[in-house]
Amino acid sequence: MTEYENIELRSEKVRNIIGRVPPELVTGGTAYVIFLLVALFVATAAIPYPENIRAAVIVTHKDREGAHAEALIPYRYITRLKTHTEVQVEMEGYAAQKYGHKRGTIVAIEDSLISRNGSSYFRAYLTLKTPMKYDIKLNMQGVGTITVANRSILHYIIWK
């Protein structure tokens, strides 16, 4: 029985073929990985990633040209906002998918600190433009979205 234990089942040619990695596979795999990395780099440089702030909005005054509203914005964004920044407001009861957003601008920023529920806020005054598919009413509430920056993903990776 010990004679049969050392018998080689494959010839030398077959062992050479099995033991050698084809060079096409190595170079093709390397090229594929490099192509994927370059494609990811281009995608991160080209795809915009907007930075938005969400805020509670309440309508305080209404006239023929539009409406005036106040937004309570988390205080950590006090240095990021400026006047004349665009705001999109989804009013309560009117889904933005069906009725669209009310568009407006920030006309003034009050830097005094407002504390509510253990969080700090500041007040921004907005002017909302009409017409839309529905009428704005006094004391109507909504959620405002303010785009602070619209940079690429690569910008956030490298410079932040």
CA distance 155 to 17: 49
CATH of region 50-159:
2.40.30.170
Distance of CA 137 to the CA centre of its chain: 31
pLDDT tens column, 55-107: 999 999 888 778 899 999 999 988 888 889 999 888 888 888 788 888 889 99
Domain ranges of the chain: 2-46, 50-159
DSSP H helix total and E strand total for the chain? 5, 6
The whole-angstrom distance between residue 101's C-alpha and the CA centroid of its chain comes to 18
Question: What confidence tens digit (pLDDT) does each residue in 45-68 have?
Answer: 999 988 899 999 999 988 877 889
- Residue 109, H or E segment: strand 102-116
